[in-house]
Amino acid sequence: MKQLFRVIQKAGSIIGIVLLCMLVFIVLSSKASGGEPTIFGYQVKTVLSGSMEPVFYTGSIIVTELPSKHQAYQKGDIITFQSDGRLITHRIIGVHEANGKKLYKTKGDHNNAPDNGYVQPDNIVGKYTGITIPKAGYIVSYATSKIGSALLLFIPGLLLVLSSAFSIFRAVKELEKNNVHSVG
């Protein structure tokens, strides 16, 4: 039983460290690039509204694939696009052609009416891949804040100090135990 507990504890520690490293990577790369981090042509976006519920909920993280040149989208695709200086992720409900250029009519699944106007291909920043991590956006949003970034740098250092102190404490206890046995 003790052995199983150690294995579970070790696995939990490894998973925690990997998740912490991923969070540090996301925060540092977004700070460095001034935007969303890109990994192998994919980006992570935080959902800020409920317009696409129940596909994904507010506070979720979604993964989008960056657009390639001359990529065409079709009805039913979920895209992220720029509109009035902000990012919106909605479903394409219609594809129209004007002056040899495709235009996309979009709507949030939870919205009653379609979006105003059409989305031009140049404004599309990604296509939803179907990967969603519920509630993780709250953590990323907090981690990218000033306080969250500071804590993200402070906590790993604190954990290393605590781990070292624990190791030293165990080693001292072991030495004391061995000294008691050799004296007696």
Q: What is the pLDDT of residue 32?
A: 59
Global confidence as pTM: 0.64
Q: What is the pLDDT of residue 180?
A: 67
CB-count burial class (<10 Å; 0-12, 13-18, 19+) for 39: exposed
Residue 39 pairs in a beta bridge with: 42
Residue the block writes with tokens 């150690």: 6
In the annotation, is 83 catalytic? no
Name the CATH architecture for the domain at 16-161. Ribbon (2.10)
Give the C-alpha separation, 38 to 64, whole Å: 10
Q: What is the pLDDT of residue 107?
A: 94
| Amino acid type, 165 | A
What b/e readout covers 99-127, taking b as 16+ CB neighbours within 10 angstroms?
A: eeeeebbbbbeebeeebeebbebeebbbb
- Residues of the chain falling short of pLDDT 70: 26-38, 180-184
Q: Of 13, 29, 33, 49, which one is the catalytic site residue?
A: 49
Q: What is the pLDDT of residue 93?
A: 95
